[in-house]
Homo-oligomer: A and B are copies of this chain.
């Protein structure tokens, strides 16, 4: 079980969490719990580090920020004990959770789970601070912001857990954002790959790394709300969304669905370089420097140029990197040989995602027809095996999501409450 910062913010909320944990144990499960720091605490600690040293040493940064999860893990163990439930905390260096060297963005290599399994078999709840591990040099590491989801999946994998329940402030994964589409439906199941595509296009429920790890390790992850009724029965009837493998999904023999969900992302920006020489190597002059600067280019389109031997190149980058990308391209103007840079951050990416696409044609055709019917102009397209994304005017985001949700037959019979 994993609980985020909002669920751990203060002793009263920790008591709620302990109650949920206790019920799972009472229902006969052996339980390990991974916790985040109290909401706001990691920001406070990061600010201290920035004030102390703007160019901070990531090793010392890790010493400071890892303390937030240390506190909540001790407090949850104490709270469980107060309820008569045996529990102890296991810090990252105690298990240990071995990580690769990179401080502040470490990767979990391996978890020594033997002692943990022994304690759990003895009836003790194991409480583990998320986000932290131990380097080969014996120093504290942290996994990067949001790393507690990844800790939870890694612990579940090490324990060969039946399930990894991730409690968040939403009660599951929806066919689309319920704030946009009242008839959005909560998905009972979603595959790892669908979840990755949904996460990478803005439907952030879990940290992407945690989903990749779950897929690699075959950990069944359930997303559910920590703000459920405390007196409700334990979560064995799977009230959230279960993230499973393709095989398990097939075994469920549910009615095959072409599209699982519709995601949107307003954090992209469009860049157009006009009159780029249409010759071999020209495009690599554009994208190599961006890649070196770790600017993630998503959609790329090469328009037919107005003049012979020239072409317009359109692509998208994260809005946060737009200024940096623009400066970098201006620097390389001579090498690339373009005429103008046109940028537009008022764009949105709309994606339809579903493993059903693999075996069904016509998904793209439905999308373009539905958008065209409402006069929504498509500025760019990109596709993967289980996803089709289009770039549109940001103002048309909500309209496009609603139109597509209906077009693919995702609307629930009743609007959500």
The chain A residues found within 8 Å of chain B, CB to CB, are 11, 14-15, 45, 48-49, 51-57, 59-64, 66-68, 70-71, 73-75, 77-79, 81-82, 88-89, 91, 93-94, 138-140
Contact = CB atoms under 8 A, between A and B. Distances in A.
A57 B45 contact: no
The winner among A14, A75, A93 for most chain B CB atoms within 10 A is A75
How many chain copies? 2
Given A53-B81, A55-B82, A67-B68, 18 more contacts: A14-B52, A15-B52, A49-B74, A52-B82, A53-B79, A56-B81, A57-B78, A57-B81, A61-B74, A63-B71, A63-B77, A64-B75, A64-B78, A66-B70, A67-B67, A91-B140, A93-B93, A94-B138
B67 A88 contact: no
A64 B60 contact: no
Contacts of A55: 82
A interface majority secondary structure:
helix
20 contacts: A45-B71, A48-B75, A52-B78, A52-B82, A53-B78, A54-B82, A56-B81, A57-B77, A57-B78, A57-B81, A59-B88, A60-B75, A60-B77, A61-B74, A63-B70, A63-B73, A64-B70, A64-B75, A66-B70, A94-B139
A70 B138 CA distance: 15
A5 to B, nearest CB: 15
B71 A67 contact: yes
Contacts of A82: 52-55
Nearest to A89: B63
Contacts of A89: 60, 63
Nearest to A93: B93
Nearest to A57: B81
B75 A52 contact: yes
Contacts of A48: 11, 71, 75
Nearest to A66: B70
Nearest to A139: B94
A361 to B, nearest CB: 57
A81 B64 contact: no
Nearest to A62: B74
Contacts of A51: 11
A93 B94 CA distance: 10
A62 B67 CA distance: 13
Contact of A81 (B60, B63, B68, B70): B60
Contacts of A74: 49, 60-64
